[in-house]
Structure 1
């Protein structure tokens, strides 16, 4: 029951995060938004994610992980209902914000549960469970594109109905969570590593940077790749969504197959190698333009490994303080996500302004620069991994 809750939880999480790719161009058209406004919207929603991360660990200690997990899925269902009825941009923004509150609670809840359960073959099991996120992310853009065209009794679901249907799937993990018994809620407070001790550890701060750069690069693909391909290369929605799905195929296979590699070569070295690979693929895809677009998908192989490997690292280094360490790193990661999405939209608009207004070349260069920022985040993740490895190697603490 615990595994079913985690696996289905990551499936729903993947859907909620990555159905936005095909939906954003339609949302943009309905509400007449420019790229900068889309970036601001995604940043504000990441702020909701950040807020949820900041209080979920506290709720976990007070309520227990079971109630927190059920509450997270319930919030996501409610947000889907509100999105369906959002005819005004203000209501839509609030509904989308609420969905990210649920996402943030779910992110922390599943991470804490995984850290408590997977005490052996941690890297492999963390990547396997997160592989279910990749599985749902792979099919999410295609399912979303298909659902938006479904007509029931003369009513076309469009993006609003699509969000309602997809987020309603949260009922499935709720059922398994209610039937489960979760470990670790009985750990006494005095047995936990004090928060002030964690804050003094430079390794934790380096993990914050690695996770932040890696996740900004990962999540930005779901929000910007379809938009990039449609507007830069005039791809149709189905083809562009197919490339996003190809990204998540690579993403998923990496998590399902390469988890044992992280256990074998070490978590620290894995973070450096895989994030560097993603950066190289992203920059090569941008410079090679349309002919090299397949490398956008290949970049998923590297970036897929960052989040679960960081979680495995934390669970090994802080066995009695993983709840607090995970909450701290993921909360600060959420802050970076707010800034990251805003910067991507701002970079696109800034570079466009350097060229002739409203020209196709201006749009192309702007989108290339914005996507280049995604590659830069992956590169910075790799550089920070090198710094972490050197620091730990000197102290003979490499994990």
Structure 2
């Protein structure tokens, strides 16, 4: 006689296999995301030299790429409803791999800009897909699991700058890979997470998926003041987080005349602290609350950043320590959204990340503009002008972390007054 327990075993094994494939897609996805975002640190000084760009042009380039990310976020939600998260993820990974091929053949600034823009289209699609999938899968210990997922982003971000620096010096058949070959090699790794994604059935693709029932329309959702405070928190937090990958190596090389390997090592140290924080602090965010965690941790990052700038070269280690505070901000905000808007998580995530993209465009542009403006103020072609420009630009990164903490306080008071703290 076949017992009920025996008949349930195949279904249980199937669920476990599906869950493992989901985790593999998410974890590998964040690894690729970390690589694509943070190999630019060591590459930017070489790109700047090859194309003869100033800091303002670099800031504009990063802003345009953030615009590509924003555009992808705006259409990915619609695409997800049409073809499902599975195929959106496959398309995102494929787009990033193709962009690596285009970057390899980019020998003009316009061609390179277009190729880099395409990479950020893939990044934006991947961001939304992974966020929606994570929100639907991690219904328990949300803060812990969100931080664990983003831990893999931190791990890849830690090793990516050092691997990128090493790859740029590799010679194959008498040809040095340089930054073009490095981008090609690293972005082709995007093929790997396509394997578990292709083998898996995603929640949004299942016929019994209930996430689309009884949705609150976006028009009504945006009337929630808390959602706009979350947008501000995430925007300032992400600018503070993501700008480090593009500006820290540049800052250390030009302000303190550090060797490229040493500067890349400090960026890796930042992401080592970043990764450890996401691995270890997730349970703490679940325990003390998401909003309070954001206030404390983003404030810590702002203090560390300004102390590193004003303390001089001997305090440069605080640039790395700043990663401890900023690391949990993004996954903690995603956990907050998943818990506050359980049925509308995909809509809320898409809206918040899209608005965050606008903030990222403005933020990256401002960093370049502030850096260039202070250079001119203190002497365009002088060492003092360069130093003050870099300090002002990087100071804006620290200011964003402090503003993230400030708006976290506003959100805390708003939710506490309504007894809605999470």
Query: What is the TM-score of this pair, normalised by structure 1?
Result: 0.99
Partner of 2:118: 98
Question: Residue deviations 1:146-189, cap 9 Å, x none?
Answer: 00001110011000000000000011100110011111343364
Quickly say closer, same or farther: Cα 1:16–1:188, change in 2 above 3 A.
closer
Partner of 2:413: 390
1:78 aligns with 2:98: yes
Moved over 4 A (4+): none
Q: Tell me the distance in 1 between the aligned counterparts of 2:372 and 2:338.
A: 41
Query: What is the TM-score of this pair, normalised by structure 2?
Result: 0.94
Question: Which structure has the greater CA radius of gyration?
Answer: 2
Question: Residue deviations 1:266-293, cap 9 Å, x none?
Answer: 0010010100000000000001010100
Task: State which of 199, 209, 220 in structure 1 corresponds to 2:243.
Answer: 220
Quickly say closer, same or farther: Cα 1:266–1:28, change in 2 above 3 A.
same
Partner of 2:289: 266
Partner of 1:108: 128
Task: State which of 34, 51, 61 in structure 1 corresponds to 2:71.
Answer: 51
Task: State which of 353, 363, 366 in structure 1 corresponds to 2:386.
Answer: 363
Task: State which of 191, 194, 197 in structure 2 corresponds to 1:177.
Answer: 197
Q: Tell me the distance in 2 between the aligned counterparts of 1:356 and 1:243.
A: 28
Task: State which of 350, 358, 370 in structure 2 corresponds to 1:335.
Answer: 358
Partner of 2:15: none
Q: Tell me the distance in 1 between the aligned counterparts of 2:373 and 2:85.
A: 44
1:347 aligns with 2:350: no
- Equivalenced residue count is 399
Question: Residue deviations 1:316-336, cap 9 Å, x none?
Answer: 000000000000000011111
Unaligned runs of 5+ in 1: none
| Offset at residue 58 of structure 1 (A) | 0.7
Cα RMSD (Å): 0.7
Partner of 1:248: 271
| Offset at residue 196 of structure 1 (A) | 1.4
Q: Tell me the distance in 1 between the aligned counterparts of 2:151 and 2:189.
A: 18
Question: Residue deviations 1:9-48, cap 9 Å, x none?
Answer: 0000000000000000000000000000000000000000
Residue correspondence of structure 1 range 373-388 to structure 2 within 5 A: 373-388=396-411
